[in-house]
Structure 1
């Protein structure tokens, strides 16, 4: 079902997916890749709902719009990269909308994201939002944040391809130092031989195999690690 909310001055249109259970359930925010709220993010939310979570696939660009061309994505998200308060505003809009739902236990919310969406999830965590777990898949780890790692209240998991040119070793090392300095409960999984967008089955259609490539094995492993983290934080 559509869920409309406001964020960063935009009218957002996300997709809310509900589990079969009637009682209040843990909620999961799903932040999409820079293309916007497309089929992959929606399918991820549906997959989460099927196993018992209330999942909100969040809008990114407003009106539920998407960007089809890879060359147009970077100019569209650059203003958010350069203004982390705007990035945070879009993430927080989804968080507030999900948390307000009567189907959701507001004390049990997780945030996940893919590529740029993972960066958004990390930004939300750095803001001190009341999120139990944060998971980023092939996401930017940049520390030029509007918040601070010391404010993070959630457990952090990032899943990165060792050969992802978008997330170089230097960025991974800087993130490690940031998490350590903030005394965060964190984990970084590195997958050998894996590139960017490894969770997205349509990544091979981007036409840039040196940059983005689907990897079924790494995707399955990252999904298992995410669920294991959810089990740990939601049972606590």
Structure 2
């Protein structure tokens, strides 16, 4: 496969594993890896996203872009267990990273993708962002920001289809992966369902390989099963 691939969030657990797997496969002429710590690409800073996109324009057009970023908690913040814990600043932070950031990546990177042929723009979402699947409540900000991300994906897919009728824009749930994002909550994970980043990356890339044009705008689990909105 010629052209280039782009990983946004290449210093994270999943993003780093995706970047390494794509380099190892050797299917692309160039594999770009962008991250806040590595290249100064910060999803809360649109100028840094635009600068990253400008770098990609110097080489082959990207036919695969994966946004492997997200935030669930920080040192002084945990997912809300009840409405009394809702805080506007924390909600804004979650939406800035989980929803607005990937949307801005799409704004600057989707126009770089070819206008013909199969292309894939994928963002890492989460099953917990499914409104239909919400049976436990709690985790208000993370749930809502991922649900909003899934709507962004659906809307982007419709617009991108007008530019390239073979484009695929999807949200992907990687499962529970052994990274800093999930470490606080791994005690409750069912045995056998906690993936190391390398395995998660291979599963995600296999799932991307299996995507069809009608899948654009949808949300899929790592095993290829569609997740209800």
**Under a length normalisation based on structure 2, what TM-score does the superposition of the two structures give?**
0.47
Task: Give the structure with the larger helix fraction.
Answer: 2
Task: Give the structure with the larger strand fraction.
Answer: 1
Q: Does 1 or 2 have the higher relative contact order (CA < 8 Å, sep 6+)?
A: 2
